[in-house]
Amino acid sequence: MSYGSIDGGSFGSRNPFGGPMRQGYQPVATQVSPSELQDVFQETSSNIFQINANVVTLEKNLQSLGTSRDTAELRQSLHSTQQQTNKVITSTSQLIKQLSDIISGSSRQDRLRLTRLKTELSESVQRYGDLQKKIAERSRALLPPAQKDKKKSPQTPSTEQIEDGPLFGEAASSEGAAQAFLSEISEEDVEVLRQREEALLQIERDMLDVSQIMRDLASMVHEQGDAIDSIEDYIQTASSNVESANQELAKANQYQIFLTSHQKRTAEHCLESVMTAVLSVCPSML
């Protein structure tokens, strides 16, 4: 199953943030109610918890491979658990992608929460991808040599190679070993081997494209980080501008006080001059 083969995520045909899911529709933060946003956050967190729980289950199943507990039911459990985990990972990635597109205008707390969920999902996906490789390697190692050679699917040798002798001899020897091996086991054992080979093919088909998911998540984390940095820079710049404006207002207020005081002194001086002039004229008139 490839990462890009799952579409729609858990949103369905309707956008949980408000509005229909139509071509070219880009929801904005004003269309998201706080309760809807928190519901999607909770769903994303629950999905990550489910992924980690499935990883624990798969780790236990891995320990049972090659033991007396290694049954057809165990192999089927490995297959079904991996398929379920693949779907949960893909739908959770879709949730986070849509949250990233919407939450840019939300609070800093919501943006930081989204960044934390992205990091947790990345770690869970990486752990799951590593575990898938271990399961496939362990399953392949448990196949008998003849079955391993079949899995490698060698190219058909050319006429020149056959005529050379050694390669032809090796092929005959390998075929003889396989026939000898099959003659020594019962029909029941042959059926078990067939089931294990089919289980290995299923496991290999179930392996998720972890590298692509990690690249997508890393890209979203980078974009979200840039958005947070830009908002922080904007807030810091705005705060600096407000502080500068307050300083200018304080200076203007001081200047106004100075100007008012100066005008008052000038008026008083003029009044004194007028009074002096009047008093100097009045005695001569008397």
The structure tokens 């624990």 sit at 56
Q: The dihedral of CA 236, 237, 240, 242: what is its sign?
A: negative
The 10s digit of each residue's pLDDT in 136-165 is: 999 889 887 655 555 554 444 444 444 444
pLDDT of the residue at 65: 92
Q: How many CB atoms lie within 10 A of CB 10?
A: 16
**Position 76 in a domain:** yes
**Position 182 in a domain:** no
The structure tokens 């980690």 sit at 52
Domain count for the chain: 1
CATH number, position 234: 1.20.58.70
Query: What's the domain range around 13?
Result: 3-142+209-242
pLDDT of the residue at 27: 43
**Position 114 in a domain:** yes
Phi–psi pair at 138, nearest 5 degrees: -65, -40
**Position 125 in a domain:** yes
**Position 257 in a domain:** no
The 10s digit of each residue's pLDDT in 97-146 is: 989 888 877 788 999 999 999 999 999 999 999 999 999 999 889 887 65
**Position 281 in a domain:** no
Given a cut of 50, the residues of the chain with pLDDT beneath it are 1-14, 17-30, 153-171, 227-228, 231, 233-234
**Position 204 in a domain:** no
pLDDT of the residue at 209: 76
**Position 129 in a domain:** yes
What are the angstrom distances between the C-alpha of 165 and each of 149, 172, 176? Answer: 20, 10, 16
Length of the chain as a residue count: 286
Q: What is the DSSP string of the chain?
A: --GGG--STTTTTB-TTSSB--TT----GGG--HHHHHHHHHHHHHHHHHHHHHHHHHHHHHHHTTSTT--HHHHHHHHHHHHHHHHHHHHHHHHHHHHHHHGGGS-HHHHHHHHHHHHHHHHHHHHHHHHHHHHHHHHHHTS-HHHHHHHH-PPPPPHHHHHHSHHHHHHHHHHHHHHHHHHHS-HHHHHHHHHHHHHHHHHHHH---HHHHHHHHHHHHHHHHHHHHHHHHHHHHHHHHHHHHHHHHHHHHHHHHHHHHHHHHHHHHHHHHHHHHHHHHHHHH-
d(CA 112, CA 7): 26
18: alpha, beta or left? (left if phi > 0; alpha if psi -120 to 50): left
d(CA 114, CA 97): 10
